[in-house]
């Protein structure tokens, strides 16, 4: 069994220290069980502000976000997934890093493959699928707009993925798409999907974070518009049984 914690939070634009403080307070208050998985929304450190990518990525050249996430992982003895803008040789990417207790840097990372329209002028798209191990699970990380591209999820599944994490800044006006696509990605890949979305005081983002099992059942769902941490347990045996009983991938 693996316990997964979804940190449904709002972030202040460009206010990294305040966002760090809020994320840390929320996680510590939730008292996650050791060796659990903690997920933060897309670009939790700066808020989802792609129009400020060039400016904020200069600040992100400092290792403050990785340092924060690694310390949070160490202090909670949990795996922590989160990130934001990251300046690399190819340009600025929308990045999520995976941090494990006792390490000195991220153990795996993912750059958003499918850029949303406002990101196209300032971000560089990633090219690789992310696959890494947490406990019994092979995990693949995705970010927000990736959710609309089923081929990425199928490619990851064929390479071994059993759990997908989705880190998002998904607007409330497309909530129906969010719910339908998350369920579809779980059913068609017979995998768990753990999706964390941000909230905002103006109602543009309402969270609706959730965990969905390999049969498409929502096993935990956060209240809309509320900042808090929700959690649920997932079982690798459920993935194995689903794929054994209904062998989609033997075609």
Among candidate residues 110, 236, 234, the one with its CA nearest the CA of residue 166:
110
Write a three-state SS string for 196-251: EECECCCCCCECCCEEECCCCCEEEECCCCCCEEEEEEECHHHHHHHHHHCCHHHC
Residue identified by tokens 């990130």 is: 83
Write down the catalytic residue from 112, 138, 198, 242: 112
Question: 231, 32 in Cβ contact below 8 A?
Answer: yes
Instruction: Identify the DSSP state of 128.
Output: -
Whether 138 is catalytic: no
Count CB-CB contacts under 10 A for residue 86. 21
Whether 144 is catalytic: yes
Decide the pairing of beta strands 137-143 and 132-134.
antiparallel
Calculate the CA 202 to chain-centre distance. 22
Write down the catalytic residue from 42, 106, 119, 242: 42
Among candidate residues 66, 80, 19, 69, the one with its CA nearest the CA of residue 44:
19
Write down the catalytic residue from 78, 144, 198, 242: 144
Whether 25 is catalytic: no
Residues contacting 59, CB < 8 A, separation 6+? 16
Looking at the chain, list the stretches that DSSP marks H as alpha helix, in order from N- to C-terminal side.
16-30, 53-59, 64-76, 150-158, 175-189, 236-245
Tell me the catalytic residues. 42, 112, 144
């Amino acid at each position: 069994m693996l316990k997964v914690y979804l940190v449904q939070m709002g972030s202040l634009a460009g206010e990294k220290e305040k966002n760090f403080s809020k994320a840390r307070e929320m996680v510590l208050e939730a008292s996650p069980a050791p060796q659990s998985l903690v997920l933060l929304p897309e670009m939790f450190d700066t808020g989802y502000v792609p129009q400020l990518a060039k400016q904020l990525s200069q600040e992100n050249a400092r290792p403050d976000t990785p340092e924060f996430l690694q310390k949070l992982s160490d202090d909670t003895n949990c795996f922590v997934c989160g990130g934001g803008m990251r300046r690399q040789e190819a340009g600025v990417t929308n990045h999520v890093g995976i941090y494990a207790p006792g390490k000195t840097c991220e153990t795996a990372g993912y750059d958003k493959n499918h850029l949303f329209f406002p990101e196209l002028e300032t971000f560089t798209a990633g090219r690789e699928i992310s696959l890494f191990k947490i406990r019994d699970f092979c995990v693949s990380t995705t970010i927000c707009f990736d959710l609309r591209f089923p081929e990425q999820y199928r490619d990851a599944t064929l390479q071994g993925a059993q759990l997908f994490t989705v880190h998002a800044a998904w607007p409330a006006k497309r909530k129906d798409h969010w719910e339908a696509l998350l369920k579809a990605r779980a059913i068609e890949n017979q995998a768990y999907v753990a999706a964390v979305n941000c909230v905002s005081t103006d109602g543009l983002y309402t969270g609706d974070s959730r965990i969905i099992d390999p049969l498409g059942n929502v096993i935990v769902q956060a209240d809309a518009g509320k900042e808090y941490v929700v959690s649920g347990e997932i079982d690798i045996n459920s993935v194995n049984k689903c794929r054994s009983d209904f062998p989609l991938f033997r075609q």
